[in-house]
């Protein structure tokens, strides 16, 4: 096979969960369904080149330099190649870069594995000459992204996605995410996510350790039930545009995620005093004005402040005057709902 014949380049966004994935079973299948939207600005751009037919070896460059992340990528490629025989003939050269600072404490695994999986799905098409239907192409990419990092499987779609078997949605699956942007109230396509960076130090307990702790969690079954109920409720609310109810579910989910951590064996805390200060301020402004806003939180101390486009000026004033003093050096990223990945 000719050198440098096959090459693929994709850009893929990160996503933020409204209903949280927390807890998994092998092989990286979720305990509960989750709902998210893709971001616009926080993206990873990845190029994968097939460099020859010599015994496969992965070279991984992040922002131009050989990266320690390379080991995880090598392991990922090796595992994928167990099922994907076409991969065994090749070596891969992967180059990747993010549009957001990697030191900020923003998880980049969703956009990173999203972009990598899209490139690999594309290369499979090139190498085997088999065209996949669009839906199948994205399902394949989503399933491969999932094997790298669970939440990554939701990043391969524009706007809203659901991952995990959910009884009321026959198309839903534990293996891949599906797009769910149809019939959603137009307001939700104007969502913004101001990511308030509270603490960028490396977290003490990783997400994978956190997922593990759900196995014997005393509230495991209740959490699974709650996530299913929230998935049903939020998808219904998002059809009607009842924003108060929407934010109620979103905030319950964020707090529930962190209460799972606080009640694990052993328990742990990822929230920072400033995370709580920001939450209080958001609750205050909602009481004092009629702004339709809310927060969500990932597995870390940063607060994702959600608001609608129509309120942008007022919200920005509020962030600058009241919230940035609780962030690390005043740092925040102003992101919003986005149109999903792009082939370059």
Residues at the interface with ligand PMV (CB under 6 A): 17, 20-21, 34, 107, 109, 149-151, 207-208, 257, 298-299
Smallest gap, in angstroms, from Cβ of residue 237 to ligand PMV?
18
Smallest gap, in angstroms, from Cβ of residue 27 to ligand PMV?
13
Which residue number, 17 or 184, has a Cβ lying nearer to ligand PMV? 17
Which residue number, 60 or 300, has a Cβ lying nearer to ligand PMV? 300
Let me know how long the chain is.
344
> What does the DSSP assignment read for 138-177?
HHHHHHHHHHH-GGGGGTTSSSEEEES-BTTBTT--SSSE
Smallest gap, in angstroms, from Cβ of residue 34 to ligand PMV?
4
Which residue number, 151 or 327, has a Cβ lying nearer to ligand PMV? 151
Which residue number, 175 or 298, has a Cβ lying nearer to ligand PMV? 298
Smallest gap, in angstroms, from Cβ of residue 113 to ligand PMV?
9
Which residue number, 52 or 158, has a Cβ lying nearer to ligand PMV? 158
Element (H, E) at 255: helix 243-262
Smallest gap, in angstroms, from Cβ of residue 53 to ligand PMV?
33
Of 15, 344, 299, nearest in space to 177 by CA? 15
Which residue number, 32 or 336, has a Cβ lying nearer to ligand PMV? 32
Smallest gap, in angstroms, from Cβ of residue 149 to ligand PMV?
4
The distance in angstroms from the start CA to the end CA of the chain is: 24
Smallest gap, in angstroms, from Cβ of residue 74 to ligand PMV?
19
Whole-Å CA distances, 319 to 208, 274, 309: 32, 14, 14
Q: Tell me how far apart the alpha carbons of residues 69 and 28 are, in angstroms, rounded to a whole number.
A: 19
Alpha-helix residue ranges (DSSP H) falling in 25-155? 70-83, 109-128, 134-148
Burial of 187 from C-beta contacts in 10 A (0-12 / 13-18 / 19+): middle
- Tell me if the bond preceding 335 is cis, omega within 30° of 0: no
């Amino acid at each position: 096979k000719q050198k440098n014949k096959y090459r693929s380049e994709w850009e893929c966004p990160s996503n933020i969960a409204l209903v949280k994935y927390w807890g998994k079973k092998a092989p990286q299948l979720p305990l509960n369904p989750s709902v998210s939207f893709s971001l616009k600005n926080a993206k990873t751009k990845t190029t994968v080149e097939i460099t020859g037919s010599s015994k496969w070896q992965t070279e991984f460059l992040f922002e131009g330099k050989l990266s320690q992340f390379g080991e995880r990528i090598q392991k990922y490629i090796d595992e994928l190649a167990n099922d994907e025989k076409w991969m065994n003939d090749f070596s891969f050269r992967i180059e990747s870069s993010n549009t957001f600072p990697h030191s900020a404490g923003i998880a980049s695994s969703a956009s990173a594995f999203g972009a990598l999986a899209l490139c690999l799905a594309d290369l499979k098409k090139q190498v085997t000459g088999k065209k996949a239907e669009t839906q199948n192409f994205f399902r394949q990419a989503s399933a491969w992204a999932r094997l790298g990092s669970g939440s990554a499987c939701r990043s391969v779609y524009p706007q809203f996605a659901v991952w995990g078997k959910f009884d009321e949605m026959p198309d839903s699956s534990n293996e891949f995410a599906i797009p769910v942007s149809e019939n959603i109230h137009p307001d939700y396509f104007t969502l913004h996510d101001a990511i308030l960076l509270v603490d960028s130090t490396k977290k003490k307990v990783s997400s994978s350790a956190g997922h593990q702790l759900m196995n014997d969690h005393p509230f495991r079954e209740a959490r699974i039930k709650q996530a299913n109920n929230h998935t049903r409720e939020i998808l219904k609310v998002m059809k009607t545009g009842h924003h108060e109810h929407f934010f109620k579910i979103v905030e319950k989910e964020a707090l529930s995620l962190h209460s799972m951590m606080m009640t694990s064996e052993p328990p742990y805390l990822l929230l920072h005093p400033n995370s709580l200060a920001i939450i209080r301020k958001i609750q205050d402004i909602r009481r004092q004005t009629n702004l339709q806003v809310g927060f969500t939180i990932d597995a870390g101390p940063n607060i994702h402040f959600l608001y609608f486009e129509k309120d942008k000026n007022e919200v920005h004033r509020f962030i600058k005057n009241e919230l940035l003093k609780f962030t690390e050096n005043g740092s925040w990223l102003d992101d919003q709902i986005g149109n999903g990945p792009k082939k370059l």
